[in-house]
C-alpha cells in the first residue's frame, strides 16, 4: 500500500538515498579501505546510522579544525548484558573509545570518541559477544525496551521473551552490515541482490525512527507512553494474560515549528501473547505506508495518529492483521523511578541498583566506578541490566557475595546505600556538547551544577527531601525525555533553555512550556517563585509536578500549550 498521493509528493533526500541503495551500504566500504580518510561523505553518514554509528566531531576543538570521531550504539533488548559482554564493552571503551561507557535512555550502551580505524574492530568484537549494532539507529525499529527491575512483576521472563521475539522479528534483513563489518567482503553493488526489498520494511524502510517498549504495571520504568508502540503487560492470577497495545507516542519536536510537538501514546486495545508479532508488524507497516516521507520533521508515527485519529488507526490495524483487538484491560502506573541499593529479586537472589549520573560509566578522581564495575563483574559474574533512566542493575547475586561486592564499590568511592541525593537520583541528561552535532546548548556537563543550585534552594525552603524529576537535553529532540519530567530543560540556544513544568511521578502526562529562553545562570531566579508557591499552596502529599500542572496549566488544553 502507498499513502494517498505519496507517488506525487516530493520525497525528502533521505528517502531518495534509501531507495537508491536498499542494502544501506553507500560508499562505506571504500572509505573504510582508504587510510587517508578520517570521515565519511555526508550521504554515507545516513547509511551509517542503520549500522548503529553516528559520525561526530569534537565541537570543543572546532576553532582548530574538525576532529572527526564516531559514536557506536549497541542493540540489546531489555538492556540485558552478560558478564562476558560487559567485560568486552569495558575493554573496547579503553582500546578504541574515550575510556567511558554510556548507558542510553533506551537500555543500550554507547561508545564515544571512536576513530575511523576503530569502527571495524569494535563492531566485530560486539558481534563476537553475541550482540549487534545493526538497527540501533536509523529509520527502523530500534532497541526494544523491557522492564529492567527484577522485583516488579511475576511474569518478567515472559515479557523478556516477547521483547526478544519482537527485536528479532523487526530487525532489518539487509546483508551489507554483515558483509562490511563482519566478513570484510567487497560488495558487488551492481548485483541483482541489491534490488531485493526487505520483507517488512521495503526498499525505503520507515519514514523515521520507530521506538518500542514493554512495561509491567505498577512500574512505568520504560516510559512506555513516549514510544511509537508499547505493550503494557496485563497480569491476571499470577499469569501473563496479554498486553494492552499503545501507539503514537514520541517526544521530538523542533523550535519554531508548531507542526511538531511531544505526544503521549494512545491505548489502542488488548491482545494475547500469541498475537504480538502479527500486531507489531501491522503497526510498523502502518508507519511504513502512511508516515510522511516528504518532511522528516513530521514523519514519526505519532503524527499519523494525531492526523487520522485512534479509530482510524485501530480499523486500519485490524484490517491488516485479520482479527479484532479486545477492549483494553484496566491497569495503573504509580511510578517511573528506578530502585537503588540491595533488593531481593523474584528468584530469591539479590540485585543491586546503582545510580549513574547521566549514565556515564567512568573513573573521575576518587570516584572510580568503571574500575569497580570491572572488578565486580570479573569476580562474581553477575547479569547486568541497563535501565531507561540510565542506571545499572547488577542481578543474580548470592547472599554470600553481597558484602564483598559492597566493599569493592566503597573502596573505589562508590556508595551502595544512600547513593547520591534524592534530586540527583531522579535526574537525566543527554550527552549534548561536545559530541552531538544537534546540540544547541550544554546538557550532561552542566546538569550536576544546576542540580547543586536546586539543592541549595530546596534546602533554604525546607524542601530538601522532595523528589523532583529533572531532565535536560541540549536540543528539542528530547533524548532524555524532558517533556515528561516534573521540570524539563530543553536547549534553545547557547547557554539558554526552555523550561517545562508539570510532568508526573508515573510519567503518564506530558508537561507544558513555562518559560521560553532562560540563561543558565537565571534558572533558579526564574523558578524560585514557583517553589515558594509550591511550599505555601501545595495540597497534602502533592508532588511538585502535580502542583505545577494544577496551579499553572490545568485549564490549558494540549493544543493551546503547543501554540
Residue 384: CATH number of its domain: 3.90.480.10
Do 539 and 529 touch, CB atoms closer than 8 A? no
Q: Are residues 303 and 353 in the same domain?
A: no
Q: Are residues 212 and 346 in the same domain?
A: no
73 is catalytic: yes
Neighbours of 555 (CB within 10 A): 7
Kindly tell me the burial class for residue 417, based on how many C-beta atoms sit within 10 Å of its own C-beta (0-12, 13-18, 19 or more): exposed
pLDDT at 192: 45
Distance between CA atoms of residues 317 and 52, nearest Å: 29
Which residue of the set 106, 208, 209, 543 is catalytic? 209
pLDDT at 150: 87
Which residue of the set 302, 475, 509, 543 is catalytic? 475
Q: Are residues 368 and 443 in the same domain?
A: no
Q: Are residues 162 and 296 in the same domain?
A: yes
Do 250 and 301 touch, CB atoms closer than 8 A? yes
Which residue of the set 18, 436, 492, 543 is catalytic? 436
H helix or E strand, kind and range, residue 53: strand 53-57
Across 96-228, the runs of DSSP E, i.e. the strands, are 101-103, 109-114, 141-145, 210-215
Number of domains in the chain: 3
Q: Are residues 315 and 373 in the same domain?
A: no
End-to-end CA distance of the chain: 34
116 assigned to some structural domain: no
pLDDT at 91: 98
pLDDT at 102: 98
Of the three residues 297, 317, 336, the one that is the final residue of a domain is 336
Of the three residues 395, 420, 445, the one that is the final residue of a domain is 420
Q: Are residues 331 and 345 in the same domain?
A: no
Of the three residues 336, 366, 390, the one that is the final residue of a domain is 336
51 assigned to some structural domain: no
281 is catalytic: no
40 assigned to some structural domain: no
> What's CA 537's distance to the chain center, in Å?
35
385 is catalytic: no
Q: Are residues 150 and 245 in the same domain?
A: yes
165 assigned to some structural domain: yes
pLDDT, tens digit only, all 563 positions of the chain: 444 445 568 899 999 999 999 999 999 999 999 999 999 999 999 999 999 999 999 999 999 999 999 999 999 999 999 999 999 999 999 999 999 999 999 999 999 999 999 999 999 999 999 999 999 999 999 999 999 998 766 798 999 999 999 999 999 998 899 999 998 755 554 454 555 689 999 999 999 999 999 999 999 999 999 999 999 999 999 999 999 999 999 999 999 999 999 999 999 999 999 999 999 999 999 999 999 999 999 999 999 999 999 999 999 999 999 999 999 999 999 999 999 999 998 788 999 999 999 999 999 999 999 999 999 999 999 999 999 999 999 999 999 999 999 999 999 999 999 999 999 999 999 999 999 999 999 999 999 999 999 999 999 999 999 999 999 999 999 999 999 999 999 999 999 999 999 999 999 999 999 999 999 999 999 999 999 999 999 999 999 999 999 999 987 655 444 43
87 assigned to some structural domain: no
Q: Are residues 446 and 464 in the same domain?
A: yes
Q: Are residues 448 and 520 in the same domain?
A: yes
92 assigned to some structural domain: no
Q: Are residues 290 and 404 in the same domain?
A: no
The CATH number assigned to the domain holding 506 equals 3.30.413.10
Q: Are residues 313 and 354 in the same domain?
A: no
532 assigned to some structural domain: yes
115 assigned to some structural domain: no
174 is catalytic: no
Which residue of the set 18, 49, 142, 302 is catalytic? 142
Do 26 and 19 touch, CB atoms closer than 8 A? no
Which residue of the set 23, 73, 263, 264 is catalytic? 73
Q: Are residues 311 and 391 in the same domain?
A: no
Do 131 and 148 touch, CB atoms closer than 8 A? no
Domain of 356, in residue numbers: 341-420
Please state the pTM of the whole predicted model. Answer: 0.95
b/e per residue 490-513 (b: at least 16 CB within 10 A): bbbeeeebbbbbbbbbbbbbbbbb
Which residue of the set 430, 471, 509, 512 is catalytic? 430
137 is catalytic: no
Amino acid at each position: 500500500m502507498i499513502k494517498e498521493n505519496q507517488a506525487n509528493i516530493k520525497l525528502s533526500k533521505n528517502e531518495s538515498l534509501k531507495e537508491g541503495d536498499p542494502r544501506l551500504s553507500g560508499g562505506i566500504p571504500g572509505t573504510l579501505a582508504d587510510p587517508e580518510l578520517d570521515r565519511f561523505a555526508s550521504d554515507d553518514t545516513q547509511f551509517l546510522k542503520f549500522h548503529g554509528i553516528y559520525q561526530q566531531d569534537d565541537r570543543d576543538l572546532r576553532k582548530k579544525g574538525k576532529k572527526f570521531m564516531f559514536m557506536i550504539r549497541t542493540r540489546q533488548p531489555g538492556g540485558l548484558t552478560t558478564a562476558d559482554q560487559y567485560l568486552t564493552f569495558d575493554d573496547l571503551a579503553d582500546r578504541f573509545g574515550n575510556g567511558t561507557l554510556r548507558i542510553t535512555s533506551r537500555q543500550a550502551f554507547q561508545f564515544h570518541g571512536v576513530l575511523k580505524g576503530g569502527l571495524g574492530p569494535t563492531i566485530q568484537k560486539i558481534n563476537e559477544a553475541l550482540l549487534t549494532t545493526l538497527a540501533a539507529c536509523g529509520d527502523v525499529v530500534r532497541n526494544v525496551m523491557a522492564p529492567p527491575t527484577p522485583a516488579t512483576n511475576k511474569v518478567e521472563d515472559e515479557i523478556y521473551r516477547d521483547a526478544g521475539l519482537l527485536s528479532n522479528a523487526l530487525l532489518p534483513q539487509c546483508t551489507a552490515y554483515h558483509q562490511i563489518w563482519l566478513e570484510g567482503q567487497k560488495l558487488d553493488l551492481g548485483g541483482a541482490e541489491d534490488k531485493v526489498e526487505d520483507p517488512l520494511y521495503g526498499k525505503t524502510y520507515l519514514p523515521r525512527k520507530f521506538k518500542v517498549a514493554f512495561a509491567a504495571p505498577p512500574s512505568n520504568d520504560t516510559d512506555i507512553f513516549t514510544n511509537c508502540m508499547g505493550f503494557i503487560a496485563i497480569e491476571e492470577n499470577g499469569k501473563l494474560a496479554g498486553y494492552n497495545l499503545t501507539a503514537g507516542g514520541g517526544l521530538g519536536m523542533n523550535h519554531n515549528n508548531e507542526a511538531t510537538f511531544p505526544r503521549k501514546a494512545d491505548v489502542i486495545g488488548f491482545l494475547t501473547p500469541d498475537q504480538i508479532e502479527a500486531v507489531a508488524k501491522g503497526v510498523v507497516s502502518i508507519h511504513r505506508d502512511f508516515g510522511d516521507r516528504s518532511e522528516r520533521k513530521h514523519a514519526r508515527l505519532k503524527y499519523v495518529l494525531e492526523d487520522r485519529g485512534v479509530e482510524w488507526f485501530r480499523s486500519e490495524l485490524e484490517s491488516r492483521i485479520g482479527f479484532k483487538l479486545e477492549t483494553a484491560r484496566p491497569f495503573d502506573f504509580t511510578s517511573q523511578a528506578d530502585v537503588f541499593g540491595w533488593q531481593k529479586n523474584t528468584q530469591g537472589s539479590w540485585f543491586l541498583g546503582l545510580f549513574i549520573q547521566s549514565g556515564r560509566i567512568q573513573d573521575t578522581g576518587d570516584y572510580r566506578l568503571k574500575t569497580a564495575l570491572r572488578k565486580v563483574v570479573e569476580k562474581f559474574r553477575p547479569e547486568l541490566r541497563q535501565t531507561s533512566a540510565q542506571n545499572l542493575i547488577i542481578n543474580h547475586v548470592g547472599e554470600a557475595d553481597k558484602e564483598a561486592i559492597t566493599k569493592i564499590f566503597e573502596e573505589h568511592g562508590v556508595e551502595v546505600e544512600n547513593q547520591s541525593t534524592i534530586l540527583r537520583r531522579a535526574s537525566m541528561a543527554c550527552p549534548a556538547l561536545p559530541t552531538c552535532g544537534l546540540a544547541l546548548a550544554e546538557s550532561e556537563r552542566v546538569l550536576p551544577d544546576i542540580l547543586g543550585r536546586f539543592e541549595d534552594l530546596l534546602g533554604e525552603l525546607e524542601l530538601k527531601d522532595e523528589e523532583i524529576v529533572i531532565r535536560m537535553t541540549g536540543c528539542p529532540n528530547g533524548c532524555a525525555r524532558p517533556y515528561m519530567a516534573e521540570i524539563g530543560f530543553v536547549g534553545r540556544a547557547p547557554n539558554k533553555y526552555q523550561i517545562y513544568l508539570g510532568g508526573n511521578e508515573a510519567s503518564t502526562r506530558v508537561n507544558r512550556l513555562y518559560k521560553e529562553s532562560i540563561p543558565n545562570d537565571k534558572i533558579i531566579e526564574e523558578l524560585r517563585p514557583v517553589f515558594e508557591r509550591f511550599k505555601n499552596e501545595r495540597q497534602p502529599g502533592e508532588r511538585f509536578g502535580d502542583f505545577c500542572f494544577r496551579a499553572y496549566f490545568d485549564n490549558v488544553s494540549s493544543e493551546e500549550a503547543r501554540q
